[in-house]
Amino acid sequence: MASVSPSLASALQSQDAVAVALALRNDGVVVPLLPGDGPPQVRVFRRGESDKYMLLLFSSPETYVTMVPTEPEHPVAQYDAAQLLDFLKQNVGVLEAVWFDVAGPYAMQADPADVIEALELPRA
């Protein structure tokens, strides 16, 4: 099971966008994967018949399970800042939103371009 990001959970609880960005840069994030055999693939979600997708990210595997408790499998991976940035840059054209802990009490939403910008900021 992937590790937990307590700094992301704390940032979401305080609804602090800057702290969320720092947590993504420093601790990484839990990313849901498609179940099945073969190479791991990030699971994205679509709202109804929309032609765009949402990337749902989580502070822990448990927060993902809370969102889809009846599914038989809950594969996840821990992405660091570079992995998340790479995925977002490759898929920015098909993503309408990035959601954090969407099933939790402290969900937040961000524009994919804003997350990319936060991850690309030079380190101090």
Catalogue all structural domains in the chain, each as residue range(s) with its CATH number. 6-120 (3.40.1350.90)
pLDDT at position 91, please?
96
User: In whole angstroms, what is the distance from residue 121 CA to residue 6 CA?
Assistant: 22
pLDDT at position 124, please?
62
User: In whole angstroms, what is the distance from residue 109 CA to residue 115 CA?
Assistant: 10
pLDDT at position 82, please?
95
User: In whole angstroms, what is the distance from residue 11 CA to residue 117 CA?
Assistant: 18
pLDDT at position 49, please?
84
The pLDDT of 44-51, averaged and rounded, is 88
User: In the predicted model, is pLDDT for residue 3 greater than 70?
Assistant: no
User: In whole angstroms, what is the distance from residue 104 CA to residue 60 CA?
Assistant: 11
What are the tens digits of pLDDT across the range 70-103?
A: 999 999 999 999 999 999 999 999 999 999 999 9
pLDDT at position 36, please?
83
